[in-house]
Structure 1
Amino acid sequence: MVTVRRDVNAPTSAVWAVLADGWLYPTWVVGASRMRAVDATWPGVGAQLHHSVGVWPVLINDTTTVVASVPTRELVLRVRGWPLGEGDVRLTLTEHGGSCQVEMAEDAVSGPGKVVPGPARQVAIAPRNTECLLRLAYLAEGGAR
């Protein structure tokens, strides 16, 4: 798994509020370009986000599914990004006083992305997820004001 971390100047409840609002997904997830629908039970286990990836006019409709969810602590997602395949993403929130450390761990679990050697996957995943956490922090910090 490729893991990145970021300290967010907001409480875990503010970070969780961003994660729990499925309509914000393309705002903080690099590569997601628009939302089509959010299941009413999001972020409950089994709930899905129906989103598109890519840049117009080349968009692929796909889904992200909740595998595990512990409010204000952890969200585990099965992300689809075909034709590259599927991956698992674990977001872990840890309270530190009035702020939060977010850890994002991701790895390919199926499809062509799985056959790419681990170090090469890390080169692609780590910078993308670092940017995802920066965007997540901006949203949570702005909402916490």
Structure 2
Amino acid sequence: MAATTTRDLECPPSAVFDVLRDGWLYAVWVVGAGRIRDVEPGWPAVGTKIHHSVGSWPALIDDTTSVLEMEPDRLLKLRGRAWPAGEAEITITLSPTADGCRVAITEDAVKGPGTLIPPAVRHALLHWRNTETLRRLDYVATGRARG
């Protein structure tokens, strides 16, 4: 079972997906992403990657996040790597609402030492982190949608 965090935004799913589609914005809204080193052409097509650094200088770890599945304006499933901590699968789903959309992030460790953290503790930490991640995504997507 993975941790799921949701937030209602006052913008349409297309506005949120426009932010997800811009890989160079990844470090703006993803908590823990320190910088973007490269975004492969075609992002977020299945198999493409964002090359990022995790952490804060001087303790940065260079790694990647790759796209596992994508449905425009609806779904983005990712495999995030941050070795030596491990890897996580992250699913971002967008659902229209009367006032905009609901964004849900479902995440869990799938490989490496992160899987050794007891699920209750791991999920609480992921929920805490993704609450802020969704807050940042909301600011960017809603702000851009308002012009």
Q: What amino acid is aligned across from residue 67 of structure 1 in structure 2?
A: L
Which residue is equivalent to 1:64? 65
The alignment of Structure 1 onto Structure 2 pairs a total of residues equal to: 145
The Cα shift of 1:97 comes to 2.9
SS of 2:84's equivalent in the other structure is coil
Unaligned runs of 5+ in 1: none
With structure 2 as the length reference, what TM-score do the two structures score? 0.97
With structure 1 as the length reference, what TM-score do the two structures score? 0.98
**Overall identity of the aligned pairs, in %:** 51
Q: 1:46-125 maps to which residues of 2 (within 5 A)? A: 46-125=47-126
- Cα distance in 2 for partners of 1:111, 1:81 equals 10
- Cα distance in 1 for partners of 2:41, 2:126 equals 29
Which residue is equivalent to 2:42? 41
- Cα distance in 2 for partners of 1:82, 1:33 equals 14
The Cα shift of 1:114 comes to 0.7
The list of structure 1 runs, each at least 4 consecutive aligned residues, that deviate by more than 6 angstroms after superposition, is none
SS of 1:78's equivalent in the other structure is strand
Contact 2:80/2:87 (<8 A) preserved: yes
Q: What amino acid is aligned across from residue 110 of structure 1 in structure 2?
A: K
RMSD of equivalent CA atoms = 0.7
Which residue is equivalent to 1:128? 129
- In the alignment, is residue 31 of structure 1 matched against residue 24 of structure 2? no
Deviations 1:98-125 (CA, angstroms, capped at 9, x unpaired): 4010000000000000111110101211
SS of 2:63's equivalent in the other structure is strand
Which residue is equivalent to 2:13? 12
- Cα distance in 1 for partners of 2:40, 2:93 equals 22
